[in-house]
Structure 1
Amino acid sequence: MVDPASLSVLDALHSTPARRYLAPDPIPDDVLWEVLDAAVRGPSGGNAQQWGWVVVTDPGVKGTVAAWYRENWDRAYGARRAQILAGEVDGGLTPRGYLGAEHLAHHLADAPVWVFPVLRGAADATSPRVGSSIYGAVQQLCLAARAHGIGTSLTTLYGGHEDELRALLGLPADALTMALVPLGYPSQGRWAQPKRRPVEEVVHWERWGQHRARTGGGVR
């Protein structure tokens, strides 16, 4: 078992990539409760906490949703597999990223625990910012899982089946699933800092297009 106290907050923030190769090994209930309890300490718009967290372990439910997921994956990415793996597609998934995402698409149901963050009052929302009321807490779920050595990824590729999913999970009529987060102990790969464009390149000071050189050594 991993000691959560051995990982600093900044180390967790710098080493929580999406983990898509997940073993089917069960997650102990006490660990899962700790992860969920950390999630609900996250930010909530107006502190209203108009959310719910649906934990799914039922193979039947997972099998149904996983089929939708594979269907969407094949439609969106499957036909471009050869081109992406050959590096012929600009932007989007890298060949390595594609293989990880493809593995998840075909093994999603193997993850022992799924968590659906659900937002009340969002079913008919038109604001693109509606998710801001829950996504901060979702990241806390992922970070807490990381502290326990549990991998996660955040996906919405089951989309297009919301009404069926609402019925499958018994959600209130006004509720909307905001993501699917599969949890499991990683079966391959490592905890590593995700590759990102340099912070100096993507941070703008005072107005868009104004950049500054970074001073100091940073936190790592």
Structure 2
Amino acid sequence: MSELLPLDPDQLLTTTRSVRKRLDLERPVPLSVVREALEVALQAPSGSNSQGWHWIVITDPELKKQVAAHYARSYSDYAAARPSGDDGSTMQRVRSSSQYLADTMAEVPVLVIGAIETGGDLPEGNQAGLWGSLLPGAWSLSLALRARGLGSAWTTLHLVYEREVAELLGLPDTVRQGVLLPVAYTKGTDFKPAPRRPLDEVLHIDGW
């Protein structure tokens, strides 16, 4: 059992960040630690307790390189399409760290893709029931990793090339990807809560 950081539940929830520049690309990540975190993630809720999730853990350097190439291509298009106005300091930091991750994704020790059984085509209309059976588990994985001194960054840009990545990894047609988490130990563990909109701007009681 890995040693856990001394974080109470509120600290864990409020200091689990998307980590990019502070991912330690040099320190190996034992598969046993990833398995521990995934065992925690499997306790997350899923619709009708279906547990239709699948977790593709990628450690092979060549596979990581190919997934990273798809991610970098998608990020390049995404960044080019965004307006280049006078961003605030927070957005500038996000842009810089996002570019860094796109440049170094192949060097991250472990990539984890969260996917889910669909039984065929994606459902029409609101798909909350489907993705709501995967994403809580993926977030629980992020929390469990943070508790063990590892970081991750919630990413979905590779999904522009979901079919190519599925073919690369041999995923069946009935399984769809929902999130990609680059995983590494972090350089330091002193993460803090991030600025957020005030609660009263987004809180609605008994109606809008």
Q: TM-score, normalised by structure 2?
A: 0.89
Identify the match of residue 46 of structure 1 among 44, 48, 51: 48
Contact 1:39 1:137 in 2 (8 A): yes
The answer on 1:104 being equivalent to 2:101 is yes
2:127 matched to which residue of 1? 128
Identical-residue share of aligned pairs (%)? 32
How far off is 1:189 after superposition?
Answer: 8.5
2:195 matched to which residue of 1? 195
Correspondences of 1:34-73 after superposition (within 5 Å): 34-73=36-75
Cα separation, 1, equivalents of 2:48 and 2:18? 29
How far off is 1:186 after superposition?
Answer: 2.1
1:94 matched to which residue of 2? 91
The 3 A distance-change label for structure 1 pair 70 and 122 is farther
Cα separation, 2, equivalents of 1:44 and 1:28? 28
| 4+ aligned runs moved over 3 Å, structure 1 | 78-81, 187-190
Q: Which digits, 9 at most, give the CA deviation of each residue in 1:38-84, with x for residues without a partner?
A: 11111111101111111001111111111111111111114658x25
Cα separation, 1, equivalents of 2:5 and 2:163? 41
Worse overlay, 21-30 or 165-174: 21-30
Q: Which digits, 9 at most, give the CA deviation of each residue in 1:72-100, with x for residues without a partner?
A: 1111114658x25x428xxxx71111111
Contact 1:23 1:110 in 2 (8 A): no
Cα separation, 2, equivalents of 1:76 and 1:5? 35
How far off is 1:184 after superposition?
Answer: 0.6
Q: Which digits, 9 at most, give the CA deviation of each residue in 1:73-131, with x for residues without a partner?
A: 111114658x25x428xxxx711111111111111111101111110016521343121
Counterpart residue identity of residue 196, structure 2? R
Cα separation, 1, equivalents of 2:57 and 2:41? 13
Contact 2:24 2:187 in 1 (8 A): yes
2:31 matched to which residue of 1? 29
Q: TM-score, normalised by structure 1?
A: 0.84
Cα separation, 1, equivalents of 2:180 and 2:119? 16
The 3 A distance-change label for structure 1 pair 122 and 96 is farther
Alignment RMSD: 2.2
Could you say which structure has the larger radius of gyration? 1
Q: Which runs of 5+ in 2 are unaligned?
A: none
1:218 matched to which residue of 2? none
Q: Which digits, 9 at most, give the CA deviation of each residue in 1:148-196, with x for residues without a partner?
A: 1101111111122222211111112110011101111124784111211
